[in-house]
Amino acid sequence: MEHVYKENKKGAPVFVLLHGTGGTETDLLPLAQALNPEYNVLGIRGNVKENGMNRYFRRLGEGNYDWEDLEFRGNELYTFIAEKAKEYDFKLEDVIFVGFSNGSNIAIQLMLQQADKFKKAMLFAPLYPADIEVKEDFSDVNVFLSLGKADPIVPEVESERVIQLFENRNADVTHIWVKGHTLPQEALAAGKAWLDKQN
* pTM tops 0.85, yes or no: yes
Check 104, 146, 159, 181 and give the catalytic one.
Answer: 181
Check 27, 101, 146, 159 and give the catalytic one.
Answer: 101
Q: 47 is in which domain, residue-wise?
A: 3-196
Q: How many CB atoms lie within 10 A of CB 137?
A: 12
Amino acid at 47: N
Q: Based on the residue annotation, tell me whether 19 is a catalytic residue of this protein.
A: no
CATH number at residue 103: 3.40.50.1820
Task: Give DSSP secondary structure letters for 175-186.
Answer: EEEEESS---HH
Q: Which of 121, 108, 32, 46 lies closest to 77 in space, CA to CA?
A: 46
Check 19, 146, 151, 175 and give the catalytic one.
Answer: 151
Q: Based on the residue annotation, tell me whether 151 is a catalytic residue of this protein.
A: yes
Residues 6+ apart with CB under 8 A from 175: 144, 145, 146, 147, 163
Q: Give 156-189 pLDDT, tens digit per residue.
A: 999 999 999 999 999 999 999 999 999 999 999 9
Total domain count, the chain: 1
Lowest mean pLDDT among 64-68, 120-124, 129-133: 129-133
Angle, CA of 123, 129 and 132, to the nearest 5°: 100
Distance CA 116, CA 13 (A): 17
Q: Give 66-87 pLDDT, tens digit per residue.
A: 999 999 999 999 999 999 999 9
pLDDT at 62 over 90: no
Q: Based on the residue annotation, tell me whether 181 is a catalytic residue of this protein.
A: yes
pLDDT at 39 over 70: yes
Q: How many CB atoms lie within 10 A of CB 134?
A: 12
pLDDT at 196 over 70: yes
pLDDT for 91 equals 96
pLDDT at 131 over 90: no
